[in-house]
Each structure stands twice: as C-alpha cells, then as structure tokens.
Chain A
Amino acid sequence: MSDLLSLSRPLPGLPKIGQLRSHLRGINPGLLVAGAYLTFLAVATIAPGLLASADPLATDAHHLFSPPSANHWFGTDENGRDVWSRVIHAARPSLLLGGAAALATAATGALLGLAAGLSPRLLGNVLMRLTDMLQSFPEILLVLVIISFWGANNATLLVALGLAGVPRVVRQVRAQVVTLQRALFIEAAITLGLPRWLIILRHVLPNAIKPVLVLFPLDIGWKITAVATLSFLGLGASPPAPDWGAMLAIDRDYVLNGWWLTAIAAGAITGTVLSVNALGRALIRRNEGHR
C-alpha cells in the first residue's frame, strides 16, 4: 500500500508533466516545423542514400513525366529520373555552398573589422573606405562581376558569395571593437597587466562578434537563396548534377507536362530558406529580449 502511494508521487529528478507542457508551449509551433525540416535536410546532406535509394542520374525513357506514385514519390522528370532522389541529393551542394559562404563572410568580416578597429587611425580609415567601396556595389552585381571574370565554378561562387555581405560584418565588428576599447572590464584587464593579444583574443573578440553571430543564420538564408538563384540563371552547378535552382529552370519549360515538378523544386528551396530565416529571426528576437 505504501508502495503504491510512493509511486503516485512524482519521481525526483523528472519534470512534472505540467512543467514539460509549459516548457513546450513556450516554443512556437512554426519553429518546431522549421527545426524538423532542417533536421531532415541535415540527414539528406550527410547521408542522402538513407532517404532516397534511387540513383538521381539514372534515366528511364519509358517513364517520362510520370506523376507521383508509390515507386516514384515525387514522380519522374523529363528524362525519367526519380525526382524524390534528385531533390534529396541536391540538398548537399546547396547547403554546403551556402553555409561555407556564410562562414567565409563572417570570418573575413570579423578579421577585417577587428583589424580596422585596432589598427592605427590611418590604416583603419583606409580599411573603412575600402569597405565603403565594396558596399556601394549591390551584392548580386558583385557576384555576377566575379563570375564573369573567373567563370562559374564552386571556387568562384564561394569567393563571390563570401565577399557579398563582408562590408556589413566589418562595420558591425569595428563599431563593437571601438566601443569595447573604452569598456571598464577592458581597462581592468590592461591594469592587470594582461598581454594585448590575450585581451583581444579573450575579451574583445568574443564580445565583438556577438552581433555577427546573431545575424549569421539570416545570412545563411541569404546565401542559400543566392546559390539557388544563380543556378536558376544557369550560373551554378552544371547539369546533370541535381541542383534545386537548375531543376526549377528546366522544369519551367515543362510546366504543361507536369506542374508538380516546378512545385516540388520551388517548395524545396522555399522551405529551406523559410526555415533558416524563421529560426534566425527567433534568435534575433530572443537576443533583443522579447519573444
């Protein structure tokens, strides 16, 4: 009897059901969907074979434009290739290029911003004027100019997309560095006799890159959009390699044969950007202190 009574009490260490529920209620359901979608994409990026068994490049002349079915979940395209498999396999290049470019932007911008904030006035000013120049170039145009110089390949795309957005990061980091230099805790560190490099590494850098990190997910979203846009314009990965933007560009010509092809490719891109942006915005709002 006493055993039964003790069981009805909550076990120590486990949260009560009510607590758990209120915890979950705090999370926006839209964000849960976004998170689930991104987790799915992460699996598709790491191990596309797990999600799609069909070869994304295998053509089948007998089954062109077949509608979605049990065999081909998303149907087949103009060459009889399995669309589900192509959509899954296209996740890796899009996400990797977008993510790498966003990382490149953040790293380059943070380094230059740190340099501009810490170096002597003249050098700092020169760096900022160079930043002005880069910023007066609209980003997409900058990317196109670089592609026209060195041709469309992954290395060029990485450099071009990485460079777009650098001025914003440089400005943010430099502004932070300039303010931080007058902060009391930095003064305290100097008084304590800490070497300059250690102060920069341990105290200035982590505080200066915070605004960059907050905007980082939104930048990934922008880069993924740019990657898709470029391949849509025919300036990205070359066919037959599966690529969302390129698929969309081709599907557009076959709208009357299979409207779902356009819808699927468009949905894959939009879903990705939307999820990344929704999570990025939630991060910004949380950082601003209201949910």
Chain B
Amino acid sequence: MTRRLLGRLGAGLVVLWGTATLVFFVINLTPGDPAITILGGPDALPTPAVLRQVRAEYGFDQPLWGQYLHYLGRLLHGDFGVSYRLHQPVLKLIAGQFGATATLALWAMVLGSGLALLVALTTAKRARWLTELLTWAEVVLSSVPSFITGLLLLLAFSFSLHLFPSSSTHGWTSIILPTVTLALPVAGVLIQVLRRELEEILEQPFIITARTRGLSETGVRLGHALRHALIPTLTILGVMFTTLLSTAVVVETVFNRQGLGRMMSDATTNRDVPLVLGIALLVTSINILANIVIDFIYVVVDPRTERHE
C-alpha cells in the first residue's frame, strides 16, 4: 500500500512538472517579447521600469535552459511571481481567497450529494412514470448553465421575495443561494450514477436473500444496496470537486462574492498572466491530490480493487 501511494504521488509530481514545463515553453515560444506576454499582451504598454523588473525577475537575459531552471526553482519555493495588476505576490493573493471558495465548494458538495442520495434511494426501481420524470429532470439539471440557475435564483429569492441578499460575502444567508446553484448540477450527475447503480444492484441475488429474511424495503435499500452503489460514485466525486472549484468562477461572479473563482475571471479579463497561472497550477495540484486520495478510499471501501492491481 505504501509503495503504491509513493508511486501515485510520484506520477502526480511528474504530471505537475510537465504542466509547469508546458506553461514555460508556451510563454517563451509565443511570438513577441515574453515579458510583454506576462504583462498582459501587446496592449499593455508597461513602463520601462516595470518591464526591466519583469525581465530581471524571470531571468529573460539568461539562455533558455537557465531561465527554465530558474523558473522551476522559483515554483519549488512557492514563488509564483507577482500580480502586475494587484501588485502582490500571487501566492499571498490566492491564500487570501482560497477559504471562501473552499467553504462554498464543500457546502455545495454536501448539499448536492445529500440531495442525490435522497432522490436516488427513494426513486430507484419504482413506477415507470417516475423514471420518465426523473430522466427529464436529470437532463434539465445538467443542461441549465450555472450562471443562469444563479440569475434565476437571484430573481426569485432576492429581487422578488427579498429572502436573501443579492450580493455579499458575509453572513450565513449570503452563502445559501450560491451553494444551491453549485449543488444542483452536482446532484444532477450524482442522481444519474447512483440510480443506475441502484437499479442494477436491486436485482442481484443477495438483495433477494435479504428480502426473504424479511427485511423492509428501507432496510434493503439503506443496509445492503447503498453500500455497493457508493463505490462507482466515489470516482465521480474526484472529478466533481474540481468541477465545483471551476464552476465557482461563474457563481462567484453572478453573486458578487469574493473568492478564487472571481479572482480568476478578473485576472483573465485583465490578462494578469502570473495570477491566472498561479490559480490554475494550484487547482491542478488539488485535482491530482484529490484523485490520489479517492483512489485510496476506493481500496478501503472495496479491497478487491487492490488485489487486481
């Protein structure tokens, strides 16, 4: 198990190193002055002082391989450069916004999976019309873009009913509408997967055995079917978390909230390359880590997967 963990971590590091390398060469091989690219493209018109500072910071006067080593060394020290719009180190900016987005994503995850569990457990293998209805509900949930869900919720609950604030980062009421917006697509996907699994499992012989022992329907579903249905769902959760972090880009803008996503979209608009890259690399690292963790939970929940390797 430890060997496998080390192997996976190593592979993750290789992916990160490759991503960083790719980014480096894209910046350097883009036609034109790389310093200008970092400063926001040809329209940026930086002052000579700033230009000199960037050239020194990235070591653009050195040969390409020297620049590359310099760049990797800085990344290893957690130095992602300085945002040229906000005049602060990228890492410090990210640290300031990370908490708000992580809280939002976690709540959305809790709400989304709770909703999915409830709906899937109560509706799997029931009347035909219910299945039809849910199939359409799944299409709608996974089709409506998040920014539209968010706007509609704002229209209904903030502007018409005045139940929640339309834009704020503080107080527990401000997080409810963004959480719901993020949770709905999560629930949409999870319901699909869980229901498909449950419907297959509820036809297995061990379910019939459980029923012949006189277990109630609820007992069968909660005690026997659910556990087996959760295994394939785990794989999706890993993808889900990063999807949540990236959907935060949209939702935080709609609800005017502070956070990593909002910073990302603002930085893209301003073409603040160091900040955009810093956030992207950070989320990618989290993505890789999350997938490794889920791989291991997988083994714990279903020990057969390790023996197969």
Contact = CB atoms under 8 A, between A and B. Distances in A.
B30 interface: yes
Size category, B interface? 35 or more
B288 interface: yes
Q: Is the interface of A mostly helix, strand, loop or mixed?
A: helix
Contacts, number: 122
A255 interface: yes
A252 B143 contact: no
A149 B276 CA distance: 9
Nearest to B160: A259
A235 B253 CA distance: 13
A235 B276 CA distance: 14
Given A136-B288, A144-B249, A149-B30, A235 B148 contact: no
B197 interface: no
Nearest to A256: B159
Interface in A252-291: 252, 255-256, 259, 262, 266, 269-270, 273-274, 277-278, 281
Contacts of A138: 242-243, 245-246, 283-284, 287
B139 A274 contact: yes
A239 interface: no
Contacts of A133: 15, 18-19, 22
A225 B287 contact: no
B96 interface: no
Given A136-B288, A144-B276, A277 B142 contact: yes
24 contacts: A129-B14, A136-B15, A136-B284, A137-B19, A137-B280, A138-B284, A141-B284, A144-B249, A144-B268, A147-B268, A148-B277, A221-B143, A225-B145, A232-B250, A233-B250, A233-B265, A235-B269, A248-B147, A252-B151, A256-B159, A266-B151, A270-B145, A274-B140, A281-B139
Leading 3 A-B pairs by shortest Cβ distance: A140-B246, A148-B276, A138-B246
Interface of B: 14-15, 18-19, 22-23, 26-27, 30, 37, 41, 43, 136, 139-140, 142-148, 151-152, 155, 159, 242-243, 245-247, 249-250, 253, 264-265, 267-269, 271-273, 276-277, 279-280, 283-284, 287-288
